[in-house]
Structure 1
Amino acid sequence: MKVSFLIHTIYGIGGTIRTTLNLAEELAGRHEVEIVSVFRHRDEPLFAVDPRITVVPLIDTRPKSPTNELKHPLALQPAEYFPAREARFKEYSKLSDERVRDHYAASDVDVVIGTRPGLVAYVAQFAPGCAVLIGQEHMTHNHHKPELRDELRPHLAAMDAFVTVSEGDAAVWRERMPLPGTRVLSIPNSVPEPMVAPADLSGTTVVAAGRLASEKQYDVLIEAFGKVVAVRPEWTLRICGWGKQKGRLRKRIDALGLYNHIQLMGPRSPIEPEWAKGAVAVSTSRHESFGMTLVEAMRCGLPVVSTDCDYGPREIIDDGVDGLLVPVGDTDAIAAALLRLIDDEDLRRRMGAAALSHARRFDPGPVAKQYEELFADLGAGSGAKAPEARTRVVRTPGPPEADRMGDPDAAGPLRVDCVAEESGAITVTLPGQRPDAGALVCVHPDPSVPDRTFPFDARGRAIIPGDDGFAEGIWTCHTAEAGPTGQRPPLVTRSVDQRGAMRAAQRVRPGAPVRSLVPYVRHGGLALRSWVRPVHAESAAVDVTGRGITVSGRLLGEARLTGDPALLLRRRGKIPGELEFPGARVGTDGFRCTVPLTEPVRVQADAHDVWDLWLRYAPGAEPVRIGRVLDDVVEKGTVHPYPAVDLLKARPLARLRAVLRRLRRRPQEKVTVKIFFSAGNELVINVVDKSGQVTT
């Protein structure tokens, strides 16, 4: 039979998009499947789309597209058939009304599935009369305002089935909105087996993922993790996702002084390699219709700490067996549950193993089977449902044609899985693809640096050794044979497992050069970031106060600390300068140095002075740059930001006056000092005087 999913957009990142693709891919093995995306705001979907699935974008909103339709006359008029109280009502228009109606007017589809409230209304009004109509609820009954539920009632009554993702929510719908002609039931979202090996749970990282939105209550998680850090300072929290709350959360992290312990990682797709880096997963949502991230984490073998919110978590987690449920908003309970798993490795491993086993019930196979049984019960494809008379309209020119996302039999870019091994080597695998792939070639941007070639073996694997043959810089990975254009096509990544790179510092041998080779995705293709240094000062914590910036770290490579180290600031630009500050030796190879904030301000030569940080590790020794390269994060700047300090505002009034006299400035309070990572992941201090009153 032919199954059609109607979705807001398939080109973004989100739980509804992910679960729609999971279900569509499983059904595509036995049925003809299309995904009708009302909007197309980028060229390619962020999630990989199975080539057996036809994607039909209806309205082009790509900013640089010559067929952009944001100014189409009908796009400027409000929708007539989309519920006015739906959250996305302002994004819909008479153009979307027309495009959806016209698509289904010419369709011979057997099943139409609407994936959000407004699209359920569209399905009720525009789907073919002989098709089985199914509405999906990816939120909850309680999430919707009464006014929207009232608008939806006649459309839900037109559905053959209304599917929620938890039984608890289905029960609420059945109780509060009886729909005699509509079957109301629950079928969970599906999550496929990860493309990466399960987490080994040996690290010190807690992982959370999801939109940076208020309902996820990441502010509660940040406060709770502050309590964890007070007891276990070696542990870190990574939050993956994007959203409008990022700036607010960043300020909260800085205010609590947790910027060395909590990282906002940004969006990550696929997410499984990030879960696999963790030892514990956590969710602090105020409400969850299902809990997609919980299942994803469990499928990677992580025990989960989750708030016991309505409705999904309690139907996913077996409390005390494969995870821990805690009250919503209770920072003490969240911190205690995290510490329980952190402090008890045996418990963590038992729960992780149980999570891995129990989460298999959400595999797309069993979930798709439930949908197929529902389709059959409702008479899909059998002609059992009589067609209804519908008014048809003539379609106006507009949307791009259907786009089948590739042909599985056609030659195209090689899609690979990549793993950073514990040894420092990198394994690149062709998952079930062409056995005649030959070899991969690693290319450095400097043409004087020779390419490196590694053959694929009979199992489709190529091993890249973590040796000294990779000059420092960015290496791009290609196929050995040139394509039709004469260029060697890049290797397109399916997944990149960077776990081995997280332990790069542990592989550095005393007296040996520092090397690190990290695989990552760059412009959609596989790339390797190489660092090779005879001597290296690896930064660890950076502590920022109103008085100074303290940098801690380790000296690694072919040198040793002799006596107390010193930190140098060297100014870039036309007016060179150097400042030196004494440091302290910590243990055998550790250092700690503090830069008083007033010092680079005192000698400021430009409105934007930039100072590089260097470490002199022995008297008379050539200093080395201080940076961070021995982990899995290729570009540190956005992941490890540090708070800026307004030097003058950080001072009491009496001291403020003294500072102003010494600096010969007017009291405009506009001098800002900030430390950050450069593009090369080396530490830099920026001094900015917005008043423009620089005096040297």
Structure 2
Amino acid sequence: MCFLLFNLYGIGGTIRSTVNLSGALAEAGHDVEIVSMIRTRSAPALPVHPRVRVVPLVEARRDQPGFDPAHDPKGNPSRVYPACDGPYRLCSALVDERIERHLSGTDADVIIGTRPGINVYLAHFGPARALLVGQEHLTHDMHRPDIRRAQNAAVAHLDAFVTVSRQDARIYREALPDVATEIRCIPNAVPQPDVSPSTGRNKLVVAAGRLIRIKNYRLLIDAFARVVEQRPDWKLRLYGRGPEARALRARIHELGLCEQVIMMGAHAPIEPEWAKGSIAAVSSDGESFGMTIVEAMHAGLPVVATDCPFGPGEIISNGVDGLLVQPGNADEFAAALLNLIADDERRSALAAAARAKALNYAPSAIAHAYVKLFEDLAARTGKGCGSPGTREKPHGAHALSGRAGAASGSRLLRAGRELAGRAVRPLLQRPATAGPLLGLVRRISPAAAARADGTARKLRPVARCAAAEDGALELTFPAKGLAGPADLVLRRRNSAEEIRVPLPPPAREGRGGPYRTRLRLPRMPLAEGHWEVWVRRRADGAQRHVRTPMVERAALVGRAPEVTADAVRSWIPYATDSGRLVLRVWRRGAHAEAVWVAVGPSVTYVEAELLGAVLTPDAVVTATRRGDRPTVLRLPATELGAGRFCCLLPHEDFTGRVAGTSPRDREFWDLRLALPDGMAVRIGRIGGDIVARKDIDSHPSAYRGEGAARARVRPYFTDSNDLALVTAPAPAPDVAPAHPAVPGSAPLQGAGDLPAGGGA
């Protein structure tokens, strides 16, 4: 069977659902491929099952060898793909040509389209002998009228049309009463992740999804403002990106929630992030299904969701495995969150029920529902499983000439060509690995001979990685990836420092069991910096970076830096964009952990806890301007007890030097706590589970002066997670935005955003 996606190489709910379902069907023994209309990166962003073939049709990257200049969406746009559907702007006539050619030659018995424009392609180019199935990943009413018309016309030429909610299937049947196409609800497949479920102990609410209007995250932010009035110890993390990001951040600043509501950006994979929370929140005005709801349930989180059309009410049993509230009601949403926050026992019971409910959406169960659909269609139409079948194709302005000729010809000939292509294509695409072919023209090297008899198998150190409650780092390697005794090697970037840790024998000696190890980081002499993790095999000295599909850091949420007799230390494991495992380590003689930062119209308030040293009454906070001739300001530090102190940073002390200069001129000020013994202690945030806070812990700007003398100041965290200030000239705005309050003061006016800049 064949799935048609516009761009498999992106990240989104439709892509994730297709990857999940195709993998389950392949696991069940079906021959599955995913055809991507365009290719925008070298490999899919989401992992595809190894038995699923990936077939990109058009290379969209101009700098790649396979790029064809005929792919010109502006100069040579698609003649078939509906202009009203979003991907049209990336679609060319070359895509039309390639998809028609592929579908005319495919031997797939079932072809599945995944969005309106692709369902139009399927109606035009789908082979008559195959079962043609369209999917709806939104809803009938979520589409604009022109998209609805295009897709509704295509549905009549398909064998089946699948929605992800029962309510939407009913709406489609009512909208298309004269269509013979089978319209059926089959929800999305959501796999149970290989992640430890939430403990329910972190005081954290998690929400995730595209930052778009229909998700109504403003409602969630407003509701959480009511929550923190009663429970200021709880926080909300919002994962995702989208066009509403700027407005949402402004709302957070306006309500003074910078320390309680954190915009985390996009995360993939998202599963470890769900497990950090204790409650999930969905505030949408409409949900076609609610994949994030099931993902959160898998992670052991009860979900508080608006009872909006269509998905939440079909997934959540109110009061059993989650709570449903009236859409658009921030007070009711806040009350539901507070109900679960206050009742640990009820929250735990709902979480257990949620995990059980999520199993209904396992890919194997959804794959079974699709197979049942295919069997029902085959029995009714006589199509599929290679039977010829007939279907009248649509005609009109978008129908390409020569369609009948393209669809005709010997199916055996087409199948033979495709089989030959599948055999030869990997050799053409990857000549360096075509060992049997190269062996015909040259002798086998000794190294190749050694690999052939298994004496030097390739080292593939891919590990499951999790931070433990006691601060250790737990790593699990499959034995086949190491192929013999090996050592773990930690190397600090930009340094010759290296630490070797012997890996213990496999857990099941002699039976191919996994290698497991615990790095007791508190006992290791790791200097501050980024430590890359490698594996070195003892037999031949082969070494490779350790790669990990995800890093579980739920145990680090809210974790304070460790204080020992000689240092203050913290460490956070993370994976790079390429999947390499790295440890971010901080090690300092003393450190001041920032507890609270708030920006007022004339001062910035900083509260911190001193670790590894004794706070004295004559300690001061210094602000040092970077540059060839640094300026140092000394500001009083007020003791608050238990090692805590606060400081007020008057904005007029920082902005006078940049007033009237070029808008590009900025000044950066590093903050330190100066102790009488001469120690300068960094103020920052090194505890917890967030590796880089620079773009996450965001605070608004404050403005000083008028006209050409106007300037702005903003606190931010550097690349080392140290607290600093940036100042810059600021043109007068049309309207001064609202400003959050310093704790204990009246609401303040006159703040805005300053683009992130500077930082060491």
So what's the TM-score if we normalise by structure 1? 0.90
Match among 399, 412, 415 for residue 462 of structure 2: 415
**Counterpart of 1:491?**
546
- Matched with 2:273 is 274
Q: Name the counterpart of 1:653.
A: none
Question: Which of 677, 682, 687 matches 2:717?
Answer: 677
CA distance in 1 between counterparts of 2:562 and 2:148 reads 61
Q: Deviations over 1:303-336 (max 9, x none)?
A: 0011111111001001011111111111111111
1:585 is matched with which residue? 639
Q: For residue 510 of structure 1, report the CA deviation from its aligned partner.
A: 6.7
8 A Cα contact 2:109 2:386, kept in partner: no
Q: 1:74 to 1:244 in 2, by over 3 A?
A: closer
Which secondary structure does the structure 2 equivalent of 1:378 belong to? helix
Tell me if the contact between 2:554 and 2:689 (Cα under 8 Å) persists in the aligned partners: yes
**Residues 1:441 and 2:489 are matched in the alignment:** yes
Matches for 1:534-683 after TM superposition, within 5 Å: 534-557=589-612, 559-563=613-617, 565-602=619-656, 607-616=665-674, 618-648=675-705, 667-683=707-723
Q: Which moved more, 1:385-394 or 1:365-374?
A: 385-394
Q: TM-score, normalised by structure 2?
A: 0.83
Aligned to 1:694: none
- Counterpart CA distance in 2 for 1:513 and 1:612 is 21
Residues 475 and 528 in structure 1, CA contact (< 8 A), matched pair in contact too: yes
Deviation per CA, 1:595-642: give whole Å up to 9, x if none. 1001123456984221100012x4334121111111111111111121
Matched, 1:214 2:213: yes
Paired with 1:296 and 1:249, the residues of 2 have a C-alpha distance of 23
Opposite residue 476 of structure 1, the aligned amino acid is E
Q: 1:586 to 1:68 in 2, by over 3 A?
A: farther
CA-CA distance at 1:487 after TM superposition: 7.3
Partners of 1:390 and 1:430 lie apart in 2 by 54
Deviation at 1:67, TM superposition (A): 3.8
- Contact 1:164 1:170 survives alignment (8 Å): yes
509-518 or 241-250, which moves further after superposition?
509-518
1:424 aligns with 2:471: yes
Q: CA separation of 1:179/1:541 partners in 2, compared to 1, >3 Å: closer, same or farther?
A: farther
Tell me the SS of whatever aligns to 1:88.
helix
| Contact 2:459-2:482 at 8 Å conserved across structures | no
Q: How far apart in 1 are the matches of 2:367 and 2:475? A: 31
Look up the match of 1:23. 21
The match for 2:562 is 508
**Residue 47 of structure 1 aligns with which residue?**
46
Deviations 1:44-97 (A, max 9, x none): 222112222111111222354344457635762232222233233333231221
CA distance in 1, matches of 2:694, 2:68: 36
Residue 392 of structure 1 corresponds to 406
Is it true that 1:382 corresponds to 2:385 in the alignment?
A: yes
Corresponding residue pairs, total: 664
Is the 8 Å Cα contact of residues 54 and 403 (structure 1) preserved in structure 2?
no
Q: Is the 8 A contact 2:529 2:585 kept in 1?
A: yes
Give the 3 Å change call, closer, same or farther, for CA 173–385 of structure 1 in structure 2: farther
How far did 1:387 drift?
5.3
Q: Is the 8 A contact 1:43 1:62 kept in 2?
A: no
Structure 1 residues 432 and 329 mapped into 2: Cα distance closer, same or farther (>3 Å)?
Answer: farther
Paired position in structure 2 for 1:478: 534
Partner letter of residue 5 of structure 1? Answer: F
> Is the 1:41–1:63 contact (alpha carbons within 8 Å) kept by the matching residues of 2?
no
Q: Look up the equivalent residue of 2:386 and give its one-letter code.
A: G
How far did residue 411 of structure 1 move? Answer: 5.0
- Decide whether the 8 Å contact of 1:514 with 1:535 is kept in 2: yes
CA distance in 1, matches of 2:51, 2:85: 32
Deviations 1:441-498 (A, max 9, x none): 22112443123334154132122111232221101122214999x9732222112101
Deviates more, 1:362-371 or 1:228-237: 228-237
Structure 1 residue 511: deviation in Å?
Answer: 4.8
Conserved? CA contact 2:73–2:90, under 8 Å? no
Following TM superposition, by how much is the alpha carbon of 1:402 offset from its aligned partner in structure 2, in angstroms? 7.1
Query: Partners in 2 of 1:392 and 1:540 — Cα distance?
Result: 68
Aligned amino acid, residue 17 of structure 1: I
Q: Does 1:517 align with 2:571?
A: yes
Report the CA distance shift for 1:625/1:312 in structure 2 as closer, same or farther (over 3 A).
same
- 1:232: which partner in 2? 231
Q: What is the distance in 2 between the residues matched to 1:82 and 1:678?
A: 46
> How far is the alpha carbon of 1:179 from its aligned partner?
5.0
Could you tell me which residue of structure 1 aligns to residue 509 of structure 2?
none
In structure 1, distance between residues paired with 2:680 and 2:537: 44
- Cα 1:402–1:531 change in 2 (3 A) is farther
SS of equivalent residue, structure 1 residue 612: strand
**More deviation, 308-317/604-613:** 604-613
Whole-angstrom distance in 2 between the partners of 1:280 and 1:254: 23
Q: Identify the residue that residue 396 of structure 2 maps to in structure 1.
A: none
Partner of 2:12 in structure 1?
14
Aligned-residue Cα RMSD (Å) equals 2.8
Aligned to 2:524: 468
Whole-angstrom distance in 1 between the partners of 2:425 and 2:487: 35
* 2:750 equivalent in structure 1: none
> Aligned AA for 2:335?
A
Distance of aligned partners of 1:28 and 1:284 in 2 relative to their CA distance in 1, 3 Å threshold: same
Cα distance change of structure 1 residues 491 and 64 upon mapping to structure 2, 3 Å threshold? farther
Q: Give, in whole Å, the separation in 2 of the partners of 1:473 and 1:642.
A: 26
| Aligned partner letter, 1:223 | D
CA distance in structure 2 between the aligned counterparts of 1:447 and 1:310, rounded to whole angstroms: 56
Once residues 577 and 73 of structure 2 are traced to their aligned partners in structure 1, the CA distance between those partners, rounded to angstroms, is 35
Aligned equivalents of 1:252 and 1:561: distance in 2?
36
Q: Give the deviation of 1:645 after TM superposition.
A: 1.6
Q: Which amino acid aligns with 1:596?
A: P
Matched residues in 2 for 1:582 and 1:535: separation?
Answer: 19
